[in-house]
A and B are shown apart, each in its own frame.
Chain A
Amino acid sequence: MNINILTAKLLLTLFSLCLATGMAFGQSGPAKVFIEVKGLACPFCVQGLEKHLKKLDAVAGVRTSLKKGEAVLDLRSGRTVDEKELRQAVKKAGFTAGRIRFEEGPATATAEKSVKGGEK
């Protein structure tokens, strides 16, 4: 086999792999999600909320501010989460999701936004 063809195939394979994993364009997902949680008014209620939010695959951690009535989600690298999933998780905990704001992680190059939902 021609060495040039072999090299070209190898490069193409690597390029495809990089593209698939989003590395080639430094693709970034939302690093954080801010959820306004309506109806949250005591510490004992927070556990159920955080438990349901942590069950989402994309969520690495949850921090809640009782005063602000807000849950802040740290997302796993390169992962995104659907707004509908977030609202459903808050609902299962017994509360009502208000405004949901996505904050993107650091990007290394221009990339297509993979944020689903955006700021409402």
Chain B
Amino acid sequence: MKTGKLMLALLGGALLVAHAAAAPINTDTALPVSQGEFLWREQVRFLKAQDSTRDLEVIAVPSVLVYGVTEKFALIGMVPYMDMTLKMAGIERGAAGRGDSMLLGRYQVFQLDRPGETFRAQALGGLKFPTGRDDQGDAFGRLPQPMQLGSGSYDPVVGGIFTWQRLRWQADFDLSYKINTKANGFRFGDTLAHDAAFQYRLSPLTLPEQGVPSFIYGVLELNGRWAERSELHGGKVGDSGGYTLFVSSGLQYVTQRWVAEISVQLPLIQDLNGNQVKTDYVLSAGFRVQF
């Protein structure tokens, strides 16, 4: 089985776990986590991709814990559970278990607060750790690297996040770049993620004079992922890398203590190198709670 033909698993994996600390559903936010506060987020994400000969399913459950070290600096830890299955020519291959973890720091570099309105910018940096197994195999031998739960590599991430929030709506933008390093003779191509989200308060239509009502937001997002070609023993993998832009719509129920959300992502653009199976959709549901 050609390694490159499985590259979507990588793209899918990145899509499934890259933005687990978001305030919109698939986009990061620059909103604060109060000093000394914890935020716990769980999501279930399901990716389906298929063509005439291949059928790929990825389930990811990223668990995220965010801690407000100060009002400006937050630490974000993320550990995903992954389950990947690829069916091709009557053969089924896959892996399930803990994936690679990520530790990120988020620092607020700009804050402008007005009554009922805030504009913030944050810098993001961190490292992906190889906590997922990268040596799994089955009856057909060792699984190709893109089908492994972990990459085996330590990969730095840098980025920036911008948020403009008002009582009626919120807009978020993020941009992040992951520099992938080599492990097991394989180097995944670097990845660039860019997201834009707009969420609008659907309920309540008008706010009461007193109190804090729960909100229902409608969420519309654009989530772009670019990946350069991967390298195997120094040579470029033809069937790897490319660009995908998803449009996402979702709903969020937001209370003071917790948030529940659902989202569906559909591909608008899939410009993938070589012969890669294309994504049909990504579904997600989750909650977050602060304490």
Contact = CB atoms under 8 A, between A and B. Distances in A.
B113 interface: yes
A42 B34 contact: no
Interface of B: 23, 31-37, 68, 70-72, 111, 113-118, 165-167, 170, 207-215, 254-257, 259, 290
A52 B165 contact: no
Contacts of A36: 115
Interface stretch (A6-14, A73-81, A91-99, A107-115): A91-99
B259 A44 contact: yes
A68 B210 CA distance: 8
A18 B234 CA distance: 86
A40 B111 CA distance: 12
Contacts of B215: 42-43
Given A44-B290, A96-B113, A67 B208 contact: yes
Nearest to A45: B31
Given A44-B256, A94-B33, A67 B167 contact: yes
Given A67-B167, A92-B35, A43 B116 contact: no
Q: Tell me what chain A mostly uses at the interface: helix, strand, loop, or mixed.
A: mixed
A93 B71 contact: yes
A47 interface: yes
Nearest to B169: A41
The 6 A-B pairs at the shortest CB distance, nearest first, are namely A94-B32, A48-B34, A39-B113, A39-B118, A38-B113, A67-B207
A52 B32 CA distance: 14
A63 B210 contact: yes
